[in-house]
Amino acid sequence: MFTGIVTAMGRIAAVQRAGPGVRLHITAPKLVLGDGMIGESIAVSGVCLTAVAIDADGFAADVSPETLACTTLGARKVGDDVNLERALRLADRLGGHLVTGHVDGVAVVHRMVPDGDCLRLELDVPVALQRYVARKGSICIDGVSLTVNAVDRNRVGMQIVPHTCAVTTIGAYRDGTPVNVEVDLVARYLERMLPDVGSAESPVQGTAIDVDLLRRTGFIA
C-alpha cells in the first residue's frame, strides 16, 4: 500500500528486455540510500513494482507484459523521469489517501491552465473509469494523490500547487501527455457490492445507497 505522497523523482537509466517483459533500471539516490531492501515494493509513477536489485545509485525492477500493456511504463524510455514512493509503513502519516499501485487505466492530459500560483490540470479519463470519479474525491495520477475539483462526464479537473509541480513529474505535463490513473479504493468495492443488491443471495436489500446500507455492509460503524 502507498499514500500517493511522492518520495522523490527518479530517472530511467536503462530499459533491458527480459523475455516479453522488461527490466527497468532507475536512478533514485534519495529513495534508497537508507534501508532499501531487495523484494520491497516501490511505486513507479503509480505502478507497484518489486525491487530486484538495489545499489547506491538506484534500483532495478521487472515489469510484466500485462503491466507494460495497461500502464504508461510500456512507452517509457531512457532519460524519462518517474515519480517514486516506497511502501507505506503502519507508523507512517497518511498524508494522501490509500493507494494500491494497481493502475486502473491511462488518461490523457487535456490541458494545463495557469491559475494564480497554481496550475489547473484537466484530464480526459477513460469512459469506463468516469463512474468512479467524484468531485472532492481522491484520485491517484502517476502515483500522486490529488483531490478532484471538477467532473464533467469523462473530463476531470484538479488544482496543482507549486510544490507538487516542483517535486513530481506533473510539472512537465503537456497537452496529450498519457498518465497512469488509479481510482479511489472504496469506489472499487462499492461497485463490486452493487451488482448483488437485491439478489436472493445478497444480505443487501433495496437499491438505494444510504447510511443503513453502508452500515449493514461494513463500510461504516
Q: Are residues 191 and 180 in the same domain?
A: no
Res. 196: pLDDT tops 60: no
CA distances from 4 to 95, 195, 201, 210, 214 (A): 8, 29, 37, 29, 26
List, for residues 93-127, the tens digit of each pLDDT value: 888 899 999 999 999 999 999 999 999 999 999 99
The reply to whether 97 falls in a domain is: no
Q: Are residues 109 and 158 in the same domain?
A: yes
Backbone angles phi, psi at 29, to 5 degrees: -60, -40
What local confidence, expressed as pLDDT, does residue 203 receive?
47
The reply to whether 135 falls in a domain is: yes
User: The dihedral of CA 97, 219, 102, 2: what is its sign?
Assistant: positive
What element of type H or E holds 163?
A: helix 162-167
What local confidence, expressed as pLDDT, does residue 188 receive?
79
Number of folded domains that form the chain: 3
What local confidence, expressed as pLDDT, does residue 36 receive?
83
Range of the domain at 142: 105-185
Q: Are residues 210 and 169 in the same domain?
A: no
Partners of 178 in beta bridges: 108
- The CA distance from 99 to 5, in Å, is 10
Res. 207: pLDDT tops 60: no
List, for residues 20-70, the tens digit of each pLDDT value: 999 999 998 776 556 888 999 999 999 999 999 998 889 999 999 999 999
The percent of residues above 70 in pLDDT, for the chain, comes to 87
What local confidence, expressed as pLDDT, does residue 42 receive?
95
The reply to whether 92 falls in a domain is: no
Burial of 31 (0-12, 13-18, 19+ CB in 10 A): buried
Q: How many CB atoms lie within 10 A of CB 6?
A: 24
Q: Are residues 219 and 166 in the same domain?
A: no
Q: Are residues 77 and 124 in the same domain?
A: no
Cβ–Cβ < 8 Å for 85, 43: yes
User: The dihedral of CA 24, 28, 31, 32: what is its sign?
Assistant: positive
Q: Looking at residues 206-219, what average pLDDT do you find?
A: 67
Q: Are residues 35 and 48 in the same domain?
A: yes
Ranges of H-type helices in 36-130: 65-70
What integer best gives the mean pLDDT of the chain? 88
